[in-house]
Each structure stands twice: as C-alpha cells, then as structure tokens.
C-alpha cells in the first residue's frame, strides 16, 4: 500500500531559516506530501520561504500553530526526530529504516483514520524535552558518529523518501530482479545465436588478415572471443553496429594489401 | 557488510550554487562519505562552499577534475542520477531502493577493488546525454510525477542514506539468489573507467584510419561505442584482449597505408 497525503504531516518547530522551510516544502512536494505545519516559526520565515522549486503549493497550504500540542492534535501517531545524542530516556528511539516500517504499519492498520506527524525541531537545538513529550517515539536517521547533525531540509527529504519507499525493493525484486526498462528493451532485440556467430566469423577474418592469429594461439583466441561475445549480451543493433565497423576495417586492410 | 569510504565517491558536475556543494558535503559527512569530486564547478563555488555544518573536512579533501571522464577514471561502476523525464534510452534506469541494492552488491563482489561513482548533474539541467554516456546506468529517486526536480543536496542525502541503510538481510539474500558464478569472477577484475576509455580511444583511431567515420556520423558513432562499451560490462582482461586485437588491426592498416 502507499501512504496517502492524508495520512502524513510534517511539523516544523521553531525553524529559524526561511530557506529551510522552503527546502522542507520542496522535499515534501518531491514525495507527494503537502501537509506542512509550522509551530512558532521565526518572524517572517514563512513569507520569505517562497523561492524553493515546486514548493509554492505546499507553502500556500501551510498552517501555523502556536504550540506542538495544537499542531499534532488530530494526529494518531506523533514521531519526533532527533539524533542519538539528544536522548530522553522516557521515549524509545527507532532508527529510520525500521521507523519507516512502523509508520507504514500504523497507517495500514486503519488508513481512513490514521494521521502521522513527523516533528522536526529547530536547526540549532532540535526538539526540546518538553516538545518530545508530545511524541510517541523518536525517529533517528542513522548518521555517522562523526557528524550526526543533519540539515533540516535534507533530514525531511530522507525521512519522506524512506517512508515512501520502504519495502519497495522487495516488490521490485519479486517482479524482476534486474534493471527493468533497459533489460526489457534489450531483451526484445537480443542478438540471436546466428547473429553472434556472424560477428564471431567476421572478427576471425579480420584477425587472420591482420596477422594476429598464430597456429599456437588461434583456437584460444577464438574461444576467448566467443566467451566475450556471449558475456556482453549484445542486442541485434549492437551486433549490426560492430559488424559495420569490422567490415570497414577489413575492407581497409584488404584494400591496402592488394595495393601493396 | 558496510560500504567503506574507499568504495564510494560523489561526483558533482557543473554545480553552480556553492551552497549546494556545501550541502552535498554535509550530507556526505552525515553518512560517512568523504570522497567529493567536482567537475568544472562554477567559478568560485568551491571556495564559497565552506559554511555547511560538518562539511569542512570533506571540502578540504575535495578534488577538481576537468571532465567526467577524468573524475571517474578509477571507478569500477559509474552511476548517473536523474529524473525519469530525462531519458537516454540506451542506459537503464534503476529506481533508488533497487539501485542501492545493486551498488552494495557491486561492492560486495570485491570490496578491495570496487569504487562506485555517484554522478550528479547541474542544478538546472542535470546530466547531459554526453555526460550520461560515461554512466553505466541511471539512478532515479522515485519522486512524485508532479515535482520530480529535487534539490541537489537533498538528492545526495537521500542517495547516500539509501546506500548506507539498504536492508542488509535483503541484500544478502539477493546476492545469494543470483546464480551467475561468472558474474563473481568478472567482478574481481571489472574494467575501470580509464580502461574503458583506452578501448574507446583505440577503437576511434581504428575507425578513423579505416575511413569509417565521416564528419556527419563521427559524434554519433563515438557515442554508440561508448554506450556499447559501458553496457558490455567488460573485465580488465577482456579490455586487454580487445586492445590487443585492435592494435594489431591498426598496425596492419597503417603498415599497408605507408607501403602504398
């Protein structure tokens, strides 16, 4: 199942930099999410946040709230975000790939009724313990120990991507395990055995004329070429293209041979 | 297994906004990645990119390159990034959760030797078709149809998160499920970008001497050859073998040319 726009909202608390509000809105737009809620944004942040690409419609719908409590009042699951260093022992910490699964499971339990709030704190301090008290658990993006401070817009993008795409690889794999569109395109026109043999034969002719083959190496080279042509999984068009180039080189070698 | 810092580099091509370079570096730092490569960044971009939190050490190590070819020369897998709207039908498109699995599998095949390049185009236009020709496939972040244009720093963050956090048991299961023994053998010695370029260059020389290239078709043929060489997923030994054969044909064509 996919999580619909109805089932998710992004809550930004005390965001100071208007560029970050625009960046968060752009990421939301990228992942089909439109419910942006701002809790006490810093001064003129919202008005100045209009510039990010594709963010206009999200920003136009953004709602402002006076407190975290108000912003999440209609939400069935409230997830705070933060790094491991900011710990509130009363609240469980769930790392992102698993957190995304839990968000999806929550919504799947009752899609018509569920609404998940993803709550992001201010750039400088993250969510305070008071703000975390409104959260059921903390979502942690598994960053490196050396630098666990993420840019706000990037954190929103990563969380929304993870929630949108969790479990997709399984489904994709079940359907087909390899580069899809292209494999199909190549499969339609995959070179036949006869085409590969034509390539093999012409290459052999070129090698003979050039003097590359010796009595000792002839059979080995032929076998190496056959393996190479097999493993390259050429399309009919690619075989045609290779034949064209080899024919020209053969012609050149023959032409000069006859002239000399 | 985890992907080490050695196994991954982020290549930013023609980035215009220095803030985005800083944002990309910060995201790299968040996910334990430090190899940043810049291809023709816009003017003073690098110097002005110092401000992002935690990005200083990544920026200090950043390397500048004159071309995509140079930036990926030592990479065993080159992955372009882009949206679905920018399609190059010759290159497979793999959506991110699956792409992350494939990147991990590539590295798992031979951790000591593998290096994956994640290539990001400019903010405005993404990667050009010429730049995509250096990529083996395109990684697409599954964004909504309404807004598939992601902020550069957010795209880097999402990709690195996905690669770092792709479900490990899943990847292990997938690796086990793949039957192809010869895939593993090839992974040991997969050709680098520099080796593929040597092959491309020698083939070009042969085609010029043979008269195959015309003013009208030269660029197209070059691009077709590059795609062919990418898609064939050659090993170092196969590249050596091909170089040997082409060198001999070139020698023959030259020899006769000088005699006639």
Once rounded to an integer, what is the mean pLDDT over residues B140-151?
Answer: 89
B161 contacts A161 by C-beta, under 8 angstroms: yes
Angle value at C-alpha B178, between B174 and B184, nearest 5 degrees: 110
Q: Name the superfamily (CATH) of residues B5-188.
A: SPOUT methyltransferase, trefoil knot domain (3.40.1280.10)
| Prediction pTM value | 0.75
- When pLDDT is averaged across residues A74-97 and rounded to a whole number, the result is 80
Contact B26, B55 (CB under 8 A): yes
Q: Please name the residue of chain A whose CA is at the shortest distance from the CA of residue B169.
A: A170
pLDDT at B161: 95
- Closest CB to A154 among B23, B144, B259: B23
Contact B86, B127 (CB under 8 A): yes
All residues of chain B having their beta carbon less than 8 Å from the beta carbon of residue A244 are 212
Q: In chain B, what residues touch A30 (CB-CB under 8 Å)?
A: 141, 143-144, 147-150, 154
Please state the length of chain A: 260
Determine the Cα–Cα distance for residues B53 and B77; give it in Å rounded to an integer.
30
SS3 (DSSP) at B106: helix
CB contact under 8 A, B158 and A153: no
Residues of B in contact with A100 (CB under 8 A): none
pLDDT score, position B232: 83
A57, A170, A210: which to substitute to probe chain B, counting the most B Cβ within 10 Å? A210
Q: Is the pLDDT of residue B125 over 80?
A: yes
| Range with lowest mean pLDDT among B25-34, B163-172, B190-199 | B163-172
- Min Cα distance B180 → chain A (Å) is 11
* CA atoms within 13 A of residue B242's CA, in its CB half-sphere: 26
State pLDDT tens for residues B182-239: 344 445 578 888 888 889 899 999 998 888 888 888 888 888 888 888 888 888 888 9
Q: Does B53 contact A259 at a Cβ distance shorter than 8 Å?
A: no
Which chain A residues have a beta carbon less than 8 Å from that of B181?
none
C-alpha B60/C-alpha B24 separation (Å) is: 13
Q: Which pLDDT value is given to residue B260?
A: 58
Nearest to B234 by CA among A98, A204, A18, A229: A229
CA pair distance A95, B186, nearest whole angstrom? 36
Question: Which tokens in the block code for residue A141?
Answer: 């993006």
Dihedral of CA atoms A201, A206, A210, A211 in degrees, nearest 10, equals: 0
Query: Residue A27: which pLDDT band, with cuts at 50, 70 and 90?
Result: very high
The strand ranges marked E within A32-169 are: 36-39, 63-65, 77-81, 93-95, 116-120, 137-140
List the single residue in A148, A151, A253 with the smallest CB-CB distance to B249.
A253
Q: Tell me which residue of A104, A100, A109, A167 sits closest to A139, measured CA to CA.
A: A100
Say what the pLDDT of residue B138 is: 92
Nearest to B97 among A168, A181, A210 (CB): A168
Question: Mean pLDDT highest for which of A127-131, A168-172, B117-121, B234-238?
Answer: B117-121
Q: Are A45 and A15 in contact (CB under 8 A)?
A: yes
* CB B35 within 8 Å of CB B62: no
Please report residues of B whose CB lies closer than 8 A to that of A141. Answer: 30, 161
The SS3 of residue B116 is: strand
Helices (H), B122-235: 129-132, 152-165, 168-177, 181-188, 193-210, 218-231
* Residues of B in Cβ contact (< 8 Å) with A142: 164-165
Question: What pLDDT is attached to residue B87?
Answer: 59
Chain B residue with CA closest to A23: the answer is B151
User: Mean of the pLDDT values across residues A34-42?
Assistant: 87
Chain A nearest CA to B162, separation (Å): 8
Average pLDDT of the segment spanning B229-258 = 85
Which two tokens mark B121? 């185009």
Task: Tell me which of A109 and B48 has the higher pLDDT.
Answer: A109
| A232-259 pLDDT, tens digit each | 778 888 888 899 999 889 888 888 767 6
Q: What does the alpha-carbon distance between residue B84 and residue B139 come to, in Å, rounded to a whole number?
A: 10
Partner residue facing B157 (CB), from A53, A154, A211 = A154
What is the distance between the alpha carbons of residues B213 and B210, in angstroms, rounded to a whole number?
8
pLDDT, tens digit (0-9, with 9 covering 90-100), for B84-94: 565 555 688 99
> How far apart (Å, rounded) are the C-alpha atoms in residues B214 and B142?
41
A115-159 pLDDT per residue, tens: 999 999 998 889 988 888 888 889 999 998 888 889 999 999 999
CB-nearest partner of A179 from B26, B92, B165: B92
Phi and psi at B230, nearest 5°, equal: -65, -50
Decide if A182 and B137 are in contact by the 8 Å CB cutoff.
yes
Contacts of B236 in chain A (CB under 8 A): none
Rounded to whole angstroms, the Cα distance separating A53 from A30 reads 10
Residue A191 pLDDT: 72
* SS3 assignment, position B189: coil
| Residue B32 backbone dihedrals phi, psi, to 5 degrees | 70, 30
CA A212 → CA A49, A172, A201, A222, B213, distances in Å?
67, 46, 15, 11, 24
Q: How far is A233 from chain B (nearest CA, A)?
A: 7
ipTM of the complex in this document: 0.73
Inter-chain residue contact B248 with A209, CB threshold 8 Å:
no
Task: Give the minimum alpha-carbon distance from A227 to chain B in angstroms, rounded to a whole number.
Answer: 10
Longest Cα separation, chain B? 67
Structural domain boundaries of chain B?
Answer: 5-188, 193-259
**Chain B: nearest CA to A43, how far in angstroms?**
23
pLDDT exceeds cutoff 60 at B174: no
pLDDT averaged over chain B?
Answer: 83
Question: For the CA atoms of A173, A174, A177, A183, what is the dihedral angle to 10 degrees?
Answer: -120
User: In the predicted model, what is the mean pLDDT of residues A46-53?
Assistant: 65
Q: Does domain A5-175 have CATH number 1.10.150.120?
A: no
Residue A245 to residue A124: CA distance in whole angstroms:
62
**Residue to test with chain B: of A61, A158, A225, most B Cβ within 10 A:** A158
């Amino acid at each position: 199942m996919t999580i619909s726009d109805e089932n998710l909202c992004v809550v930004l608390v005390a965001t100071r930099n208007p560029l970050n509000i625009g960046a968060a809105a752009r990421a939301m737009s990228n992942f089909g999410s439109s419910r942006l809620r701002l809790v006490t944004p810093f001064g003129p942040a919202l008005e100045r946040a209009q510039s990010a690409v594709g963010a206009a419609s999200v920003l136009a719908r953004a709602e402002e709230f006076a407190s975290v409590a108000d912003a999440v009042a209609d939400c069935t699951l409230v997830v705070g975000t933060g790094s491991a260093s900011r710990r509130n022992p009363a609240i469980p910490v769930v790392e992102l790939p698993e957190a995304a699964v839990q968000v999806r499971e929550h919504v799947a339990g009752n899609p018509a009724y569920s609404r998940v709030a993803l709550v992001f704190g201010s750039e400088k301090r993250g969510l305070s313990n008071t703000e975390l008290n409104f959260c059921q658990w903390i979502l942690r993006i598994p960053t490196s120990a050396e630098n666990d401070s993420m840019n706000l817009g990037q954190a929103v993008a990563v969380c929304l991507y993870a929630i949108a795409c969790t479990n997709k690889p399984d489904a994709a794999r079940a359907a087909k395990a390899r580069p899809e569109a292209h494999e199909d395109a190549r499969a339609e026109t995959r070179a036949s055995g006869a085409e590969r043999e034509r390539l093999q034969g012409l290459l052999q002719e070129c090698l003979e004329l050039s003097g590359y083959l010796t009595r000792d190496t002839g059979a080995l080279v032929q076998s190496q070429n056959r393996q190479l042509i097999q493993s390259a999984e050429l399309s009919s068009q690619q075989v045609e293209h290779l034949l064209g180039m080899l024919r020209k080189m053969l012609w050149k070698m023959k032409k000069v041979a006859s002239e000399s």
